[in-house]
Amino acid sequence: MNQTTDYKSIAEEYAHRIWNKKDMSVIDDLLHPKIVIHSLLGDYQGTEPMKKVVEAWLNAFPDLVVKNNSVICEQDLVVIQWQAQGTHLWEFKGIQATGLPVAYEGVTIYKICTSKIIEYWAYLDMQHLLHQIKKS
């Protein structure tokens, strides 16, 4: 395996385990303890804030399933374009559970060093997602 393959595997493993398997242990396994996180819920540093960000999403959309559409690796960066589907079953961004299905797409960028994710950017069309759960 070359470094590009290793980095892609790390990013894909993280995305699959956290979003599809709901395996929170992957945060400690693959993220650097001082990871820098850029999320629509805020910018943070460290694995504990990442756990809170992930918990907010998984609580609101517990049946969330994420499919990777494309994965690109360039040097120490891995970019994954993905699509997600789930059901809004808990409060999210101040909106109480609606039971409505949601579908949205996004891009996540992972910066990797020595087999650990050291920086993480997550982008999605939040307005599109919120529009789906504000319909009720």
71: which strand partners? Answer: 80
Query: If you ran DSSP here, which 8-state letter would residue 116 be given?
Result: E
Residue 116 has pLDDT above 60, yes or no: yes
* Residue position matching structure tokens 């992957």: 26
Q: Which fold has domain 7-134?
A: Nuclear Transport Factor 2; Chain: A, (3.10.450)
Output the pLDDT for position 136. Answer: 55
Residue type, 79: V
Residue % of the chain over a pLDDT of 70:
96
Look up residue 131 and give its two tokens: 């529009």
Residue 1 has pLDDT above 60, yes or no: no
Q: 135 near 103, Cβ under 8 Å?
A: no
Q: Which residues contact 33 (CB under 8 A, 6 or more apart)?
A: 46, 47
Q: 46 near 33, Cβ under 8 Å?
A: yes
Mean local confidence (pLDDT), 13-29: 98
What digits encode the pLDDT tens for the residues 68-101? 999 999 999 999 999 999 999 999 999 999 999 9
Strand pairing report for 65-74 and 42-45: unpaired
What digits encode the pLDDT tens for the residues 24-80? 999 999 999 999 999 877 899 999 999 998 999 999 999 999 999 999 999 999 999
Q: What is the pTM of this model?
A: 0.91
106: which strand partners? Answer: 82, 124
Q: Which of 5-9, 18-22, 41-45, 47-51 has the lowest mean pLDDT?
A: 41-45
Sheet containing 42-45: which strands, arranged edge to edge?
A: 42-45, 31-39, 116-124, 101-113, 77-87, 65-74
Mean local confidence (pLDDT), 5-12: 93
